[in-house]
Amino acid sequence: MQDALFKNLLHKAAGYQIISHGQEIDKGYKPDVVLKSEDDYIIMECDTGTTRKAYIGGMVKAAKYLSGNRKGIAVFVIEEKDNTTVTQIHSHLIPYFEWIKPLTNLKAVYLISVKAYCPVDKPLEIFTADFLNQAKAILRVTI
């Protein structure tokens, strides 16, 4: 999925509003889409690449941003390829998520394929049963 198309989709989560479509939200940090509800954030990235380092970097940047009063989740929407599937990226991120937990208010990382997230140019609403059934999650037990 092209970057501009992803940024302009009508991303939804009950009680949240989109506050950024790729704009800088912190010095040097421009996630694709950010939704907010008070101090709770949903940071979304859509990636078509196959570099696993990019997913680690995206998670670390989200974790750094979600500190102090800010808390939330990261959602990676993945254009799956033979060597880059949701399952592969999920298992690759788990040890890094465990390592970074004490430093952040990042509550969870969700990974979902482009096809599952946006079946007919209409994205799934985040946190709904459809979204949760399609996404793989790395969850934090306590915050």
Closest to 30 in 3D by CA, of 41, 21, 40, 38 = 21
pLDDT digits (tens, 9 = 90+) for 26-49: 999 999 999 999 999 999 999 877
Which helix (H) or strand (E) segment holds residue 53: the answer is helix 52-65
More confident residue, 52 or 97: 97
Q: Mean pLDDT, the chain, as a whole number?
A: 92
Q: Give the chain's domain count.
A: 1
pTM to 2 decimal places: 0.93
The rounded distance, in Å, linking the Cα atoms of 7 and 15 is 19
The DSSP bridge pattern shows strands 40-47 and 17-20 to be: unpaired
Residue in the structure block whose two tokens are 């937990």 = 101
In this predicted structure, the answer to whether residue 50 has a pLDDT above a threshold of 80 is no
Residue 108 phi, psi (nearest 5): -165, 155
* Domain, as residue range, for 106: 3-139
